[in-house]
Structure 1
Amino acid sequence: MDILLNVLADKKISEEITISGSKSESNRLLILQTLFPEIKIENLSDSDDSVHMQHALSTKEEVVNIGHAGTAMRFLTSYFAVKENREVVLTGSERMQNRPIEILVNALKDLGAEISYKEKVGYPPIRIKGKKITKNQVSINGNVSSQYISSLLLIASKLENGLEVELVGKITSIPYINMTLSLLNQLGIETSFEDNIIKVQPKKTIKNQIVVVESDWSSASYFYSIVALSEIGSTIQLSAYKKESLQGDSCLSEIYKHFGVSTTFGKHFITLKKESETKKEVLRLDLKNAPDIAQTIAVTCFSEGISCDLIGLHTLKIKETDRLVALQNELTKLGASISVTDKSLHLEKSSEINKNIAIETYNDHRMAMAFAPLALRVPIKILDAEVVTKSYQKFWEDMQQIGIKIDKL
């Protein structure tokens, strides 16, 4: 489905939106719930990725297809590696079969796992023969996707001797590693993270408990962008959020001060308010700990006519698409002057935005959602708009509630 977005008239926004649970937290907890049935999860993400994860964990089929769900691919690789007496072929979409998995597979093999490639070495599909793993020490590069590291940590407490992970070199995406460790600690599993060594102690059973998933901060980013582009005085209340978040993307509350957006924390919600005009100086950010919000920030800067320098983006090359190239392609169509490297983005300030441009989404949910707020400036087309369901089922409904008009093309 292709759609046309526009706003019929400028207006001050005042809305309340409830956002589904964090995909990142939900997918970690779904793995942990399968390992520890004592857990009950509330406010679970309704994203496609979490649906794929639940299906993969419950199916008895030999071939497990997780579609575009990169988190599921990585977490399930470790899960099935320690699932004794179970053999599966883990596969996904065409794009997924071109996303690397070798670093994680090598780490698991070092621990004694039995994994082989069905087609191209280093990429899914992979055949996994689950077995008991007794080794408890492994090394992995610290600058790789944090999901590889979290994948190992999620199964660690179920290994007979626990696990010690040495992170080699510079460590990126630390908030996502800390999210995993915090969830383990919440369940009563002992962990430590000192210098470049992470230790997880073995645990056979845990106490019965309910875990409430915080709503997704990545999803909140699109509302930060909308408020940034809105009239002064506009407000959007989002639930359910907390000040002491496990999610790295909660840095949005600081970053969007540059765009005149304040964040007030209530008991289970946040209120975003447009307090002042966007600052005109260049926005310089290192997003190594929150790369998923890079697209939203770049589009906000372009919409507000300011320059930005974003670094720490090396993991965007291996997401649903090469997000840096995709951003460059689509922002250029809109009239932007933008350059990218394999880990950074530089956007020049611009004074005009081309109208009625069709935005390619590249099978990437964040491309569709990051560009949607532009409708507050010009009519814009979004191609393959259903791609948003990967992480945010109600996105277009919520955009209509905000006041964005949506026409099917």
Structure 2
Amino acid sequence: MGELITVSASKNSVQSNVQINLPASKSISNRLLIMRALSGNLIRIENLSSADDTQILETALGVKSGEVNLGLAGTALRFGMAWAAVTPGVRVLRGDARLNERPVKELANALRELGADFKYIEKEGFAPVEITGKKLNGGKLTIDGSRSSQFITAMMLIAPYCEAPLLFKIDKSQVSMPYVDMTVSLMRKAGAKIEQQESDIKISGAYGSSDFVVEPDWSAASYFYLWAMALEKTTLSINGLPFESVQGDKVASDIFAHYGIISHFTDGNMRIAKKLLPDFPEEINCIGCPDLAQTFAIAAVIAQKSVRLTGLQTLRHKETDRIEALKNELAKCGVFCKAGSDFLEILSFEKPAGTPIIKTYKDHRMAMAFAPLAAIFGEIQIENPGVVSKSFPGYWKEVEKMGLVLESD
């Protein structure tokens, strides 16, 4: 695929009924990989994600000692740091320039609190880091998860392999709790003993023999709600997406109901189509679903309705500064926004002067979220379209199924 893709929509080519295949959940897959490695391969995984991030993590977990290059995979860095701290061997974890700018100090401090052998190689608080694996202490642990729930998840995943039970105290107002809840669910199924009481979580035990089938990715499903909004008479059937899910991003089905898109679940599949009377939200709190922020921003553009997105404090530390990236690229689409440290307010809309050319900032979610605007503007151009392989390698193939025309330069 070239450096630029033009996505075009024509009423004559758009399909009315389309079946969509989603990738397996990256969030579930990455957690299960750590659990499998710690269990000594007692955990069996079916339908593992083919996303770049998951493949990078799986490769990293096979490194006994030495250099581990994690590219742009933030999850692999954070989960990998915790795994390396309890696994024999000396490893240096590093990544591309942007990954080495993403903060890890809170996680490093938590690991050190338990006795980890850990040091920074270049800059305090950032990769690359050198970690020598050893048995860690248990006990009470305070960890700041306001930058990323992955700091807490990483420590939870290794807790069964500490010397003593690990007790966490979590500030739920500052953490993406659905991701923590997902981790608890998977760990319990694998045999870990977890006690929860209000803000306290106590973890002990170990992972045993267990089987998992990874469900489709709800974050990926969210982009097809946008397509259902933007394409006037298209009904989409999402294969294999269950009503019951451990993924917090399932909240997309509730939010999009306010935008006039109804979800029908039958026989393990989901069908989405427009309904007549939308009830547009004025504010959406994304603290529990930060990966959907770009999706909800584009939903407001398609609907031409102002919205305030809050709970975005982790977005400035993602693959890019997602708040700034959204503000910049929405401006190209004629959208005026107001942004702060933890919010984005979409205020007004004008018709763009010409075809918008969207910069993706090496961020897969920028590419997938902005593409549906092709159905509103007639066409849109996306730079570096191959970036979608980070989480959804087959995204453009599914877009073509709907009758969109893709031209690569």
Which band: TM-score by shorter chain? over 0.9
The residue identity in structure 2 corresponding to 1:88 is R
Matched, 1:117 2:116: no
Q: Secondary structure at the match of 2:287?
A: coil
Q: Deviations over 1:45-68 (max 9, x none)?
A: 110000001110113450101101
Distance 1:189-1:61 versus aligned 2 partners, 3 A rule: closer
Paired residue for 1:396?
396
Moved more, 140-149 or 318-327: 140-149
Q: Secondary structure at the match of 1:273?
A: strand
The residue identity in structure 2 corresponding to 1:5 is V
Paired residue for 1:71?
75
Between the two proteins, the alignment pairs up a number of residues equal to 404
Deviation of the 1:312 alpha carbon:
0.4
The residue identity in structure 2 corresponding to 1:175 is P
The residue identity in structure 2 corresponding to 1:362 is Y
Moved more, 56-65 or 102-111: 56-65
The residue identity in structure 1 corresponding to 2:246 is L
Fraction of identical pairs, as percent: 37
Q: Deviations over 1:131-188 (max 9, x none)?
A: 1113332111243311000000001112232311122573420000000000011112
Q: Is the 2:140–2:167 Cα contact (8 Å) retained in structure 1?
A: yes
Distance 1:303 1:17 in 2: 21
Paired residue for 2:287?
288
Map 1:180-329 onto structure 2 (within 5 A). Answer: 180-203=183-206, 206-207=208-209, 209-232=210-233, 234-276=234-276, 278-279=278-279, 281=280, 283-329=282-328
Q: Which runs of 5 or more structure 1 residues have no equivalent in the other structure?
A: none
Q: Is the 2:241–2:270 Cα contact (8 Å) retained in structure 1?
A: yes
| Aligned partner of 1:6 among 2, 5, 8 | 8
Q: Secondary structure at the match of 1:152?
A: helix
Q: Secondary structure at the match of 2:335?
A: coil
Q: Is the 2:65–2:90 Cα contact (8 Å) retained in structure 1?
A: no
Q: Deviations over 1:193-225 (max 9, x none)?
A: 21221111122x513x32011111000011000
Distance 2:129 2:25 in 1: 28
Q: Is the 1:12–1:231 Cα contact (8 Å) retained in structure 2?
A: no
Q: Deviations over 1:234-272 (max 9, x none)?
A: 211112222221111100111001221111112322111
Paired residue for 1:152?
155
Paired residue for 1:363?
362
Matched, 1:341 2:340: yes
Distance 2:59 2:142 in 1: 31
Deviation of the 1:336 alpha carbon:
0.6
The residue identity in structure 1 corresponding to 2:90 is E
Scaled by the length of structure 2, the TM-score of the pair is 0.95
Runs of 4+ in 1 over 6 A off after TM superposition: none
Distance 1:347-1:168 versus aligned 2 partners, 3 A rule: closer
Distance 1:98-1:185 versus aligned 2 partners, 3 A rule: same
Paired residue for 1:100?
103
Scaled by the length of structure 1, the TM-score of the pair is 0.95
Q: Secondary structure at the match of 1:58?
A: coil
Moved more, 321-330 or 32-41: 32-41
